[in-house]
Amino acid sequence: MNRRDFLKAASASPLIPGVPSTSRVSQVAPARESDRAAWVALLRTLADPVLTNLAKGTLKARMPVEQAASANRQNVTHLEAIGRLLAGLAPWIELPSEATGEGKLRGDYAELARQALARAVDPASPDYLNFTRDRQPLVDAAFLAEAVLRAPRVLRDALDPSTRRNLIAALESTRIISPGFNNWLLFSATVEAALLKLGAAWDRMRVDYALRQHDQWYKGDGAYGDGPQFHWDYYNSFVIHPMLLDVLDACRDEMPAWKELSARVDERAKRYAAVLERLVAPDGSFPAIGRSIAYRCGAFHLLASVALRRALPDGTSPSQVRGALTAVIRRTLEAPETFDSNGWLRIGLCGHQPGVGETYISTGSLYLCSVAFLPLGLDANDPFWSSPPQPWTSVKAWRGEPFPIDHAI
């Protein structure tokens, strides 16, 4: 399904009964098959410009760099694009390729991702990416590392020896960048977790420091501070909870204290996922608060992650989360002017809104929206995709139906 066919199908999708709609982007398809097909089509729309250009060595030459007038992100934006895109794409391409149409596509995209990764870490490539200049590369090396953790078969074991060596060297090189005393500690920890899984020497102190410090920064009811202070933004979902979960998946058995911490981290993640599900309005919108709202549906990184893990909160069904995430994805990525004429993302939350881009936002940054697609890593027969549609919490609440009351932990 190409983008034009996808948008045509989306505009024809029936509404959830009882939910008013004034525009195409607020429509939510109840058909289970069309949900998955629509997600795959839109993920391909995101992936194609980045992967095809990087695989050919033309990413730097062809990717536009939209940014704030006072910013200069030219040296860091390309690693942002591939690291963040692969962090979301990884679980889907990790599923085995098969004889179905989607299965063949997965195999094609897995190979394309490996070709792109090889270019990104090859010092002889015209698209050899910056892992050391400025501070930003630590962030996006971490998202790239997260992709490796999420797709070990495709993005680790299937790499040729040269690319694997180059990837290890690139990740190791980021150690010269000192993380901030905030969520950035998790970027260093995620890089080290990937090095562990790549069979390289890793620094357990960086992992331990990040885990223990975030445990101290826990504020209650599923929310961590971003450093000592709490912020009303989506960084608990963009970074903190998902990276805590992924780092502990990779490392929990390395130290008894980490294994003990893991149970608390899981409980807190479930609570914050429950909050995120309740933030999705009937039309797929959500509060536009805090930093980095240009990451669009990436604000639901954690909800997508716990769905992929089959670890949703009690009383929250996979199908209602499928509906909520479908609504958010469509609301934030189908709006007019979201993509430029060549298919690259543009700054905005719902369409092209360059004024919401902070000075650290550029074209590459925007691809963090791909992490909303993590449940594509579940097989099409999984209940997330195969169970009948159910309304999410705010749909039931705002059409006057019974809905479960909320509880803090």
DSSP assignment string, 287-333: ---SS-GGGGGGGGHHHHHHHHTT-PPTT--HHHHHHHHHHHHHHHH
Q: 43, 36, 34: which is closest to 3 by C-alpha?
A: 43
Q: 124, 169, 171: which is closest to 148 by C-alpha?
A: 171
pLDDT at residue 25, rounded to an integer: 33
- Segment 154-161 mean pLDDT: 98
Q: Using the predicted structure, report yes or no on whether residue 14 has a pLDDT greater than 80.
A: no
Q: Which helix (H) or strand (E) holds 338?
A: none
Give per-residue pLDDT as tens, 191-200: 999 999 999 9
Q: For residues 363 and 345, what is the distance between their CA atoms, to the nearest angstrom?
A: 7
Let me know: does 374 contact 307? Beta carbons within 8 Å.
yes
Q: Identify each DSSP E strand in 192-304 by its residue range.
A: 218-220, 223-224
Q: Using the predicted structure, report yes or no on whether residue 98 has a pLDDT greater than 90.
A: no
Q: 180, 167, 96: which is closest to 136 by C-alpha?
A: 180
Q: Which residue carries 């179905």 as its tokens? A: 100
Give per-residue pLDDT as tens, 315-345: 999 999 999 999 999 999 999 999 999 999 9
Give per-residue pLDDT as tens, 136-146: 999 999 999 99
pLDDT at residue 33, rounded to an integer: 55
% of the chain beyond a pLDDT of 70: 92
Residues in a beta bridge with 402? none
What is the pTM assigned to this prediction? Answer: 0.92
Place 97 in a pLDDT band, splitting at 50, 70 and 90.
confident
Angle, helices 256-279 vs 301-308, to 10°: value is 120
CATH number of the structural domain 3-398: 1.50.10
Give per-residue pLDDT as tens, 240-298: 999 999 999 999 999 999 999 999 999 999 999 999 999 999 999 999 999 999 999 99
Rounded to 10 degrees, what is the CA torsion of 107, 369, 120, 198?
-70
The residue ranges of every structural domain in the chain are: 3-398
- Segment 297-302 mean pLDDT: 98
Computed over its alpha carbons, how large is the radius of gyration of the chain?
20
Q: Using the predicted structure, report yes or no on whether residue 10 has a pLDDT greater than 80.
A: no
Give per-residue pLDDT as tens, 197-247: 999 999 999 999 999 999 999 999 999 999 999 999 999 999 999 999 999
DSSP 8-state code for residue 14: P
CA end-to-end distance (rounded Å), the chain: 43
Give per-residue pLDDT as tens, 108-120: 999 999 999 999 9
Let me know: does 183 contact 235? Beta carbons within 8 Å.
yes
pLDDT at residue 406, rounded to an integer: 96
- Segment 102-131 mean pLDDT: 97
Q: For residues 73 and 66, what is the distance between their CA atoms, to the nearest angstrom?
A: 9
